[in-house]
């Protein structure tokens, strides 16, 4: 499902126009991105948790030369699916 299909599904489910559904989806995505970028955890019951995760510094390899390189520590976005979501995907 791409964004256009998601907008159409939300519009159908909620009775909103496609333009309103598109704005709502953009607002939700912006709110989640902003919260996680600010270091907060966003929990949506039945869906899952979005949170920032710390990756420690580590040694890697340059795939072209095989030389060891240092990879800096960084913060990345993470998602953990809720049990209900996992069960839906597994068909339980």
Domain locations in the chain as residue ranges: 1-40, 42-92
Once rounded to an integer, what is the mean pLDDT over residues 38-56?
97
Contact criterion met (CB below 8 Å) for 11 and 4: no
- Domain 42-92 fold is HU Protein; Chain A (4.10.520)
Which residue, 61, 78, 81, 83, is CA-closest to 70? Answer: 61
Once rounded to an integer, what is the mean pLDDT over residues 32-46?
97
Both tokens assigned to 26: 């953009």
Predicted confidence band of residue 30 (pLDDT cuts 50, 70, 90): very high
Predicted confidence band of residue 92 (pLDDT cuts 50, 70, 90): confident
Mean of pLDDT over the chain: 96
| 1: helix, strand or coil | coil
Which residue bears the tokens 């902003």? 34
Kindly report the pTM of this predicted structure: 0.83
Q: What share of the chain is helix, strand, coil (3-state, %, to 5)?
A: 45, 30, 25
Which of the 8 DSSP states describes residue 36?
A: H
Once rounded to an integer, what is the mean pLDDT over residues 17-21?
97
């Amino acid at each position: 499902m791409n964004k256009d299909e998601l907008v159409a599904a939300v519009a159908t489910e909620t009775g909103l126009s496609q333009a309103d559904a598109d704005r709502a989806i953009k607002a939700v995505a912006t709110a989640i991105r902003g919260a996680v970028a600010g270091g907060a955890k966003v929990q949506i019951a039945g869906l899952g948790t979005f949170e920032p995760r710390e990756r420690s510094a580590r040694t890697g390899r340059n795939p072209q030369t095989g030389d060891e390189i240092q990879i800096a520590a960084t913060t990345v976005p993470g998602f953990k699916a809720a049990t209900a979501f996992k069960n839906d995907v597994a068909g339980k």
